[in-house]
Amino acid sequence: MGDELLITDDFLPVPVPETLTATYLVPMRGLPRVSPRTAVTALAGRLAEPAYGLARQMLASPLMSVDTRPIDEFPALPPDLLTAFGATREQLGRLAEATHVVVVRAEYRPGWPPAHEWAARAVAAAVAETVDGDVVDVFGLQFLDPATALRSLPDAHGRVRLVDWVLVPYSSDADGLWFTTKGLRRFGLLELQTQGVPDHLTRAWGAVLTGVASRLLRTWTDGLAGEEVPAFVQLPVLTTVTGHDIAVAYGNPEQHGATAPVLLRLELDPATDPEADSFLSLHPPAGQPGAPGRYFASACATLFSGIQPDVRYARRGDAMSKAVATARASLPDVRARYRAGALPAEAQLVVKYGLPGDEGPEFVWAAVTSWETPERISGTSASDATNDPEVRIGTPVVVEATDVVDWALLGPTGVIEGGWTQAVLDSGDHPR
């Protein structure tokens, strides 16, 4: 393309594909009831611009194809992977009963807006609505009901939630958890990965990785803003992520998440197998002491700073006494919800407990990993303790329930429930 490839220690040149393709399926019994164009026209007033206009324009252009085939002519979709990515028994049942499938494909250049994805998903959702059917996102191997598919498209302000387009699966190995993204290649960008993440950071690191993806995607699409598609886009080797990046990725930009930025080092990890994918790997900055997992735990503590991990107080005021009493009274209920798997899907349960010291107790937070009996909680420390040098971020701890003074549920943008003592401290009604 005539681009000069600049390789420096500060930037990483990432190759740009020439074109991108989106594919969506609509399985159904029998043939479609209406044409795709009629189905899309029915979305007028319900689907905002530019997605509505893109769908109509691409449907009338050679950039999109819509074909109806007997389902036996289409490669079988793997039910185990569909289930792993959230397919319900009812959705799999409808797929098994389908006789035909509408295949929607769109192609476009990399850049913003991702016209191929928005248009193809809109057309597939419009067709699925006419037969009370499902949309299958072939890239993500996900079932989407038409309403969910349409909600994922940009609103009247052009905003989308990245979590509707990028998944963060993970698996376990001897070094901890291996996280990857699945969805950035929709936009031409390589997927991210992180290895060696501590087990207790399952939800937190998934949110962090989504926030990093959001920031890098902005840089990526900015680099594609010219008239010509470049051969490479330069991404910063040292990238930052903040609570605001996470809030934006989850569609909550009003929750600014004004946290200190966390630095992560980006490294290209090319595939050795031509059939496999290359990744952009995230590591701690060079020179960080200890295992990478410790840095990742510290990063989470910084980014989810709706609670402070190290708090001391010497005397109890009325507000603090009430906060502690409220937290302790609700411990049995939150334990029951935790044991039943009834906590919000994005939530991490943490407890605050006291460590004795010469100058009074030090109160630290721990992420709950198991709570088999009411009297004892197993977890991992969310901070480095001063009173006990063996309590470090990510180290296993056992907490007596009688020592607990607070609990909280942490979501991607901070505290979503609990944290009564922290609220008192933040309000200034109690001395630290």
Considering only CA atoms, which of 187, 189, 104, 180 is closest in space to residue 138?
104
Residue 311, pLDDT > 60, answer no
CA distance 302 to 205: 12
Decide if 121 contacts 22 (C-beta within 8 A): yes
* Main-chain phi, psi angles of 166, to 5 degrees: -125, 120
The residue-averaged pLDDT of 7-22 equals 86
Identify the pLDDT of residue 358.
65
pLDDT grade for 359, boundaries at 50, 70 and 90: low
pLDDT grade for 165, boundaries at 50, 70 and 90: very high
Local structure of 301: helix, strand or coil: helix
* Main-chain phi, psi angles of 202, to 5 degrees: -50, -55
pLDDT grade for 426, boundaries at 50, 70 and 90: low
Average pLDDT, the chain: 86
Decide if 28 contacts 102 (C-beta within 8 A): yes
pLDDT grade for 304, boundaries at 50, 70 and 90: confident
Identify the pLDDT of residue 255.
54
Whether pTM exceeds 0.75 = no
Give the Cβ contact number of residue 62 at 10 Å.
7
Identify the pLDDT of residue 319.
79
Distance of CA 67 to the CA centre of its chain: 33
Residue 8, pLDDT > 70, answer no
Local structure of 416: helix, strand or coil: strand
Decide if 278 contacts 266 (C-beta within 8 A): no
Higher pLDDT, 190 or 294: 190
Identify the pLDDT of residue 297.
87
DSSP labels, 331-367: HHHHHHHHHTT-S-TT-EEEEEEEE--TTS-EEEEEE
Tell me which of 106-115, 331-340, 405-414 is least confident: 405-414
Structure tokens, 374? 């009411």
Is residue 301 classed exposed, middle or buried when 0-12, 13-18 and 19+ CB atoms within 10 A define those classes? buried
Q: Within a 13 Å sphere around the CA of 362, how many CA atoms are in the beta-carbon half? A: 17
- The length of the chain, given as a count of residues: 432
Q: Could you tell me where the DSSP H helices lie in 2-68? A: 36-41, 51-59
Residue located via tokens 């595939």: 271
Residue 310, pLDDT > 70, answer no
Identify the pLDDT of residue 187.
96
Domain ranges of the chain: 18-160, 167-304, 318-427
- With vertex at residue 42, the alpha carbon angle to CA 37 and CA 44, rounded to the nearest 5 degrees, is 105
CA distance 218 to 272: 28
Give the Cβ contact number of residue 61 at 10 Å.
11
- What pairs with residue 28 in β-bridges? 100
CA distance 145 to 87: 11
pLDDT grade for 81, boundaries at 50, 70 and 90: confident
Considering only CA atoms, which of 223, 257, 263, 268 is closest in space to residue 241?
263
Identify the pLDDT of residue 157.
84
Residue 3, pLDDT > 50, answer no
Decide if 353 contacts 363 (C-beta within 8 A): yes
Give the Cβ contact number of residue 151 at 10 Å.
14
DSSP labels, 174-208: TTEEEEE-BSGGGGTPPEEEEEEE-GGGHHHHHHH
Decide if 309 contacts 300 (C-beta within 8 A): no
